[in-house]
Structure 1
Amino acid sequence: MSMSPTVIILACLGFFLDQSVWAHVGGQDKPFCSAWPSAVVPQGGHVTLRCHYRRGFNIFTLYKKDGVPVPELYNRIFWNSFLISPVTPAHAGTYRCRGFHPHSPTEWSAPSNPLVIMVTGLYEKPSLTARPGPTVRTGENVTLSCSSQSSFDIYHLSREGEAHELRLPAVPSINGTFQADFPLGPATHGETYRCFGSFHGSPYEWSDASDPLPVSVTGNPSSSWPSPTEPSFKTGIARHLHAVIRCCCNEPRACGTQNSEQGGL
């Protein structure tokens, strides 16, 4: 059945409008890049890098901005997700993706948010202790100390179940170790912590995780300790807070909605 001239005109108009919109907003309309199951990956493990674009396009290219180049990514186009397995130290670094417009092969979206992949297990694990101890009263101030015989430059403290970390420079201690003290402020609720060490020359290549340190609180906890993203978490270390996965997403709800995995390194 043939289409009427009106239908054909409307279809063509829609196509050219779509093209003009892409050309106009391409510099601002960014895809969103994420990692599953986590951006902190043990050496030898696997991670899937996912790109999502709110306009529905699912063809992307992926590139690494820093660290050791990954030749397997060059001139590679993939759909929705890209599996890296097994993960090696060369995969540590910052990634971005760009969306591809199927109706115009020369048009690409703006680069996505930067996605930082940390690779762990490259050095011996540090130790993590609590002062005054792992069991404290409600409202009592708690400080966590991460230390090692290795001369790490930076320590990273993570809280179980959160995609954020606190980082502080390591300083030599009187007992010959290199240490960082993380003051957490008044305790209100129990949490479990781990820490990692790294060096300035390879900031995304981390040590093994310390043994998990559960901190329990006696009394009547009102809620959890303030999240590292909340304004109330204003201790002396708040200025050292860095997001492990720094996302600038127009529609964060798109995160994790794509499940396909294609490709591999």
Structure 2
Amino acid sequence: MTSTLTALLFLGLYLSQTTSTQKQILSKPIIWVKPNFMIPKGMPVFIWCQGTPKAIEYQLHLEGHLYAQQSPKQLERRNTVMFHIPKMTLLTAGQYRCFYRIKELWSKPSDPLDLVVTGMYDTPTLSVHPGNKVISGKNVTFSCRLDTATNKFFLLKEGRSSQPQHRYGNIQVEFPIGPVTTAHRGTYRCFGSYNNHAWSFPSKPVKLLVTEGVGDTSLVPTEHTSFSEPWDTYLLATEAEFQQDPAFWDHTAHNILQIGLAFLVLVALMCLLVDYWLCRKRIQEQANRASPQECRRRFRTQRTLDK
């Protein structure tokens, strides 16, 4: 009995410490943008921040300063809020992070989200050498030129996982690529920039077609190309996929742990009750067996006294 009560005490203390620790550590939220991290000047953009169902307030920070804040409006989506930027400008381009609050505690900041405003400078010219139709294994070089002097150029290949390459230069830079494979097939554009968050208009698209070999005449790109004209209908209308929230899974794991501990405590209490019931039953049975014997002893004693 004493060992069981001691075990219950330790379980209760552990559960209390776990809950206290969880309250002090709030996982970072997830941040993403729709329709794309590159937004033409004057066009709207939506930034999403995903925390936990218990969050009561969200904040969006731009370059380390508070930009907007709001509370969840729908009970069924309390773990996600949307921040709307009506028009993208130089003032709204930059690095964003978001936070959420549970009671008086604020979460860690989300990973950074860099938003770029395009259409701020003249249009560059993009070309590829020796040509846009090459055999796999060869080398190609993209050349981007912007007559208006700049200090940085970006080359972007369309694709969900594509990341822009960059090189420094004033008027023209080259992006060597190779040996190429069919994975390099796709549509490319380049941009000029004075900083990481303000880019020029995009160049006209250049489609690179890579064949498997001399005998293979297939020039169909492996990636779907969806650049649209004009640019104001958005370049790369690719939406960020909805991501599962690590904070959500942290809280779920914690809740499962709490349920498991509560179940163990309940089982221990049930064992105590069963043990107590069995003990009472044994005592009652012993008492019942002892009663007739006691009566016979008293009867014999009484007869002896009468004689």
TM-score using structure 1 length: 0.67
**For residue 164 of structure 2, what is the amino acid of its counterpart?**
E
Q: Which has the larger radius of gyration?
A: 2
Query: Match for 1:32 among 9, 30, 33?
Result: 30
Hey, which of these two has a bigger chunk of strand by percent? Answer: 1
1:191-202 paired onto structure 2 within 5 Å: 191-199=186-194, 202=195
Residue deviations 1:92-147, cap 9 Å, x none? 1011110111xx1x211011111110000011111110011111122111111111
CA distance in 2, matches of 1:191, 1:204: 24
Matched, 1:165 2:164: yes
Per the alignment, residue 98 of structure 2 pairs with 97
Aligned to 1:181: 174
Q: Which residue of 1 aligns with 2:148?
A: 150
Distance 1:198 1:125 in 2: 11
How do 1:162-241 residues align onto structure 2 when only pairs under 5 Å count?
162=160, 163-171=162-170, 178-189=171-182, 190-199=185-194, 202-218=195-211, 219=213, 220=216
- Do 2:133 and 2:208's aligned partners in 1 also have CA atoms closer than 8 Å? yes
Residue 132 of structure 1 contacts residue 142 of structure 1 at CA under 8 Å; is this kept in 2?
yes
1:31-62 CA distance string (max 9 Å, x none): 11111111111111111111112566373111
Q: CA deviation at 1:180?
A: 1.2
Structure 1 183/253 Cα, relative in aligned 2: closer, same or farther at 3 Å?
farther
SS in 1 for 2:244: helix
Q: Does structure 2 conserve the Cα–Cα contact (< 8 Å) formed by 1:158 and 1:195?
A: yes
User: Could you tell me which residue of structure 2 aligns to residue 231 of structure 1?
Assistant: none
Shift of 1:182: 0.7
Go from structure 1 to structure 2 and tell me whether the alpha carbon gap of 1:192 and 1:53 turns closer, same or farther (over 3 Å shift): same
Cα separation, partners in 2 of 1:148 and 1:30, compared to 1, 3 Å: same
Q: Pick closer, same or farther for the CA change 1:216–1:56 going to 2, 3 Å.
A: farther
1:152 is paired with a residue whose SS is coil
- Gaps of at least 5 residues in structure 2 are 1-14, 73-80, 223-241, 247-307
CA 1:112–1:160: 2 relative to 1, 3 Å = same
SS at match of 1:21: helix
The 4+ residue runs of structure 1 with deviation greater than 4 A are: 14-20
- 1: CA distance, partners of 2:169 / 2:199: 14
Higher helix share: 2
Is this contact kept in 1: 2:29–2:245, CA < 8 A? no
Shift, 1:203, TM fit: 2.5
Deviation at 1:78, TM superposition (A): 4.2
- What is the match of residue 62 of structure 1? 60
Tell me which residue corresponds to 1:235: none
Aligned residues: 199
- The CA deviation at 1:187 is 2.1
Counterpart secondary structure, 2:177 = strand
Q: Partner letter of residue 31 of structure 1?
A: P
Structure 1's 39 and 215: CA in aligned 2 closer, same or farther, altered over 3 A? same
Aligned counterparts of 1:180 and 1:54: Cα–Cα separation in 2: 46
Matched, 1:45 2:43: yes
Query: Identity of aligned pairs, percent?
Result: 30
- Root mean square deviation, CA, Å: 3.0
